[in-house]
Structure 1
Amino acid sequence: MTNPSDPGRPRPANQGRRVAARNRAALIAAAREVFAEQGLNAPLSAVARRAGVGQGSLYRHFADRMALASAVLGENVRQIEQAAIGPGATLKSVLGVVTWHVTRSTAFVDLLRVRGDDGQGRELSERVRTVLAGCLAGRNELTVDDLMLAVAMVSGAVAGPLEQRERQALAAWRLLGIEVGPLRPVETDIEV
């Protein structure tokens, strides 16, 4: 059988379950990039193309756009939870990870503001609150509500190209008198 994208080459063999986890991880990573560039209404075909898989593979893993967006947001929250674990974990370092996501995803910003309508969104938002509350243990100058408000304020300050959003976010944190660690993602094992 021939490959429809390159009729001169044979179609690669279906590797089934062996590549399912890799495809899912690639789809989540691609969706994060495509949604950041084009917004949540970006064509899902662009996500599949960026991940290097067919649209059928995308729909085998995610029933619809919202399922894919939820998987991306769930990965964002897992990264924040991961940042709070371990000997070097501080409020400063965790806020660096939160800010990295805030500068890259309006959907993530919306998630942090969720208060009750969406069950999964509320659950993810509460997980972020729990992480931040744990980082505040022993600190009396801030409450978790103060910190969530500060994150919302910082997210409201970011606009424009990525470099500009990062500068604006860091400037907003400075104005609030809160120190933030390096803006970075955290590697996690994406759930299959």
Structure 2
Amino acid sequence: MPMTPARRPNRGPRAAAENRAALIAAARIAFSTEGYGAPLNGIARAAGVGQGSLYRHFPDRESLALAVFEENVSGLEVLAARPEVTLDELLTVMSEQLAALIPTLMVPSPPDPRVEAMTARVAGLLAPKVRAAADAGLIRPDVTITEMILALGMVASVLPTAPRQDRPALAEQAWALLRRGLRA
């Protein structure tokens, strides 16, 4: 029988940041293992907080999923800021994230401005790496950021129907195919 973490004593508002971080970490695990429909009460329990804390930080499932993606994008921005990191290395990390979390955040209709803002951030962190790869002759010089975002979407679209354990290999196969088309 799996052990559930003991509930921590209520420390009031001073624990807010810690509780939020614990909820995001628990959601990342739950979404990657159980999918987007993972029970929110289970996420709260795994984080060691009550449902009230969960809903104070994240009023709905989408907000929690967006927080997980926000953390991913922030990590990608840190990685992309390192000059030695190549486009291929960045795409590998993105593929790993997609494989672990798809289909956590379904494409909303109508488009969610929060998702659009994160997409713009991803485009911004990819832009210098795409230029550097084109300047080095590693990809065609006419490859645009819009095409790279489209390629990410294409990789993401093949993952939801695959069994979770097959997603990393499938993501790598999709990128291998796309890379051949992007090469100079």
State the alpha-carbon separation in 1 of the partners of residues 131 and 56 from structure 2. 42
Point out the structure with the larger helix share.
2
Residues 116 and 122, structure 1, Cα contact 8 Å, conserved in 2: no
Show the counterpart of 2:151.
150
Deviation, 1:146, is 2.2
Q: Deviations over 1:60-100 (max 9, x none)?
A: 22222222122112112112212201233221221122111
Show the counterpart of 2:91.
95
Q: Percent identity over the alignment?
A: 41
Question: Quick one: which amino acid aligns to residue 166 of structure 1?
Answer: P
Show the counterpart of 1:187.
none
1:121 to 115, 119, 130: 115
Deviation, 1:116, is 7.1
Question: Quick one: which amino acid aligns to residue 144 of structure 1?
Answer: I
1:70 to 44, 47, 66: 66
SS in 2 for 1:136: helix
State the alpha-carbon separation in 1 of the partners of residues 15 and 111 from structure 2. 36
**Distance 1:41-1:147 versus aligned 2 partners, 3 A rule:** same
Residue ranges of structure 1 left out of the alignment (5+ in a row) = 6-10, 179-192
State the alpha-carbon separation in 2 of the partners of residues 146 and 109 from structure 1. 21
- Count of residue pairs brought into register by the alignment: 166
Show the counterpart of 2:53.
57
Matches within 5 A, 1:1-192: 13-107=9-103, 110=106, 117-138=111-132, 139=134, 140=141, 142-158=143-159, 159-162=162-165, 164-177=166-179
Residues 79 and 85, structure 2, Cα contact 8 Å, conserved in 1: yes
TM-score normalised by the chain length of structure 1: 0.74
SS in 2 for 1:148: helix
TM-score normalised by the chain length of structure 2: 0.77
Residue ranges of structure 2 left out of the alignment (5+ in a row) = 135-140
Task: Return structure 1 stretches of 4+ with deviation > 6 angstroms.
Answer: none
- Cα RMSD, aligned residues only: 2.6
**Distance 1:137-1:17 versus aligned 2 partners, 3 A rule:** same
